Amino acid sequence: MDYETIDLCTPPRSMSLSPPSPPSSSTIPYPIQETPFGNAPPPPTLDSNRKSNRSVRSTTTNKSNNTSIFSDDDDLLTQPDFLEGWEAPSPSKAEKRGGRRRGQSPEKVAAKRTKAQEKAAAKEAKAQEKAFERARKKRLQREEKDAKKDAKLRLQQAKGNFATKEICVMVEKSLHNASAGQSMKSVLSASELMCRPDSSSKVPGSLRWYRCPFTLGGATDDITKEGAVESDVVAVLFDDPKVFLRLLRKPAPLSDDYPKLTKWVKEAREELGKEKRVFIIVVNAAGELTDQWNNSPSRRTSGIPCTDSDLEDAVIWMLLEARIECILARTLPEAFEAVCDLTKSLAQEPYVQEPTELLCMKGLKADKTIAGMSEDARARYAFTRMLQQFPSVSAAKAASVSQYYPTINHLLSAYNNCNSDDERAGLLMSCFGGKKEGKLSEDIWRFMCSNNGDHVW
């Protein structure tokens, strides 16, 4: 489809226009000139005409149907007189050179274009490098933050703050599904302890414990995961005392053997582990014994119940012979509390450090001049240093005591020569400065002469 271009900037010769009203001088930023049409701005230059010719809005007319896109009011533009004398603008020199500046060869333009591309590529590479550096710093900050968080968790774990979250009680399946097991689960949950069923145990009422460090996920249902360790302690809960008391039946009234209990202990040891530490928790054994004796028809029958002495003897026998500890609980909630206390003890066991040495109350630096002292001076110096280990005894007070009693033997002899305990208690008051130091003098006397361990600081 062909189109014609019509320039609207050059007015036609036959076009008559009425003179416009003269504008005010305050609103015109350029000088006013006299024209046939009145006062008007100066005509545009050649360069401005070229710019306006290239940017002017053109009209298009379809040659096939000779229809104009203008409305009926624009019929004046279609008159032949309007196009008379109009010539298309000639292309500029820059356009003739293909967009190149004057004096630039194609090789130079290509070189500049290549240089610009290299500069843009370098700029993009620098931006990518900065982005990578920002990402690396963020990653390092995140790793440092995670490392601090892990170190904090490990420190808290080393102190035992997550001990209850690291242990799980594995309850034998039949006991777990019973009402007693559900009650025990509620007691353990109230103490923030985990309780799970154990389908692998074949001993009815057995309890096992598993530990897993908190940094490795803590105690969960999966006891085979990495870091999970089984405790060397197991327990058996007899929530029905009749089951345990049947094991105490003797073949003869005067017999000292417990064949049923011995058989049960052997089977339990083989199933639970020979090296395990076993606890037996029996609920209301003494009350059940009383009920059996009260309801027994005759004591001469072969089915007479065991006595309290038989129960005590069986407990001692299990402890000495089978290394099984027995806990006699009066009620079922008391038995659950025993399980809860045992679980907490096992949870805190790795974090409890038993004291292995005595710690001095006060540390004193050694005197280098002791090497050149005589034996008497050394004994006096050692006694003075010993007195300074007592609370509230300074070096001046210890030196004052050593003036009257140079060695510990002199002080013990003075205590033996006293006639009463009151005299012994106040023996060192004068050395310490008067009656206000009577309590300190009495404490030192009790420490030196008393056989009661409670008097030791």
What's the chain look like in SS3? CCCCCECCCCCCCCCCCCCCCCCCCCCCCCCCEEECCEEECCCCCHHHHHHHHHHCCCECEECCCCEECCCHHHHHHHCHHHHCCCCCCCCCHHHHCCCCCCCCCHHHHHHHHHHHHHHHHHHHHHHHHHHHHHHHHHHHHHHHHHHHHHHHHHHHHHCCCCHHHCEEEEEEHHHHHCHHHHHHHHHHHHCCCEEEEECCCCCCCEEEEEECCHHHCCCCCCCCCCCCEEEEEEEEEECCHHHHHHCCCCCCCCCCCCHHHHHHHHHHHHHHCCCCEEEEEEECHHHHHHHHHHHCCCCCCCCCCCCHHHHHHHHHHHHHCCCEEEEEECCHHHHHHHHHHHHHHHHHHHHCCCCCCCCCCCCCCCCHHHHHCCHHHHHHHHHHHHHCCCCCCCHHHHHHHHHHCCCHHHHHHHHHHCCCHHHHHCCCHHHHCCHHHHHHHHHHHHHHHCCCHHHCC
Residue 378 has what pLDDT? 83
Helix 375-387 vs helix 408-417: crossing angle, to nearest 10:
70
CB of 314 within 8 A of CB of 216?
no
pLDDT of residue 155: 84
Per-residue confidence (pLDDT) for residue 63, from 0 to 100: 42
Neighbours of 179 (CB within 10 A): 9
Residue whose tokens read 């409305």 = 71
Instruction: Please tell me the distance from the alpha carbon of residue 419 to that of residue 422, in angstroms, as a whole number.
Output: 9
Per-residue pLDDT at 10: 53
pLDDT given at position 83: 52
Strands 167-172 and 206-211: antiparallel
What is the C-alpha separation between 273 and 276, in angstroms, rounded?
A: 5
Per the CB < 8 A criterion, the answer to whether 98 and 37 are in contact is no
pLDDT of residue 281: 92
Residue 336 CA to residue 363 CA, distance in Å, equals: 47
Task: Tell me the pLDDT of the chain (457 aa) as tens digits.
Answer: 444 555 555 555 544 445 555 555 444 454 555 555 455 555 555 454 554 444 444 444 444 444 444 444 445 445 555 555 556 666 666 555 555 556 678 888 888 889 899 999 999 999 999 999 999 999 999 999 999 988 888 888 788 788 888 888 889 888 888 888 888 888 888 888 888 888 888 888 899 898 888 877 777 666 666 667 888 899 999 988 888 888 888 776 666 678 888 898 888 888 888 888 899 999 988 888 888 878 766 544 446 677 888 888 888 888 888 888 999 999 999 999 999 999 988 888 888 776 555 555 555 566 666 667 788 888 888 888 888 888 888 888 888 888 888 888 888 888 888 888 888 888 888 887 777 678 888 888 888 887 765 655 5
pLDDT of residue 428: 86
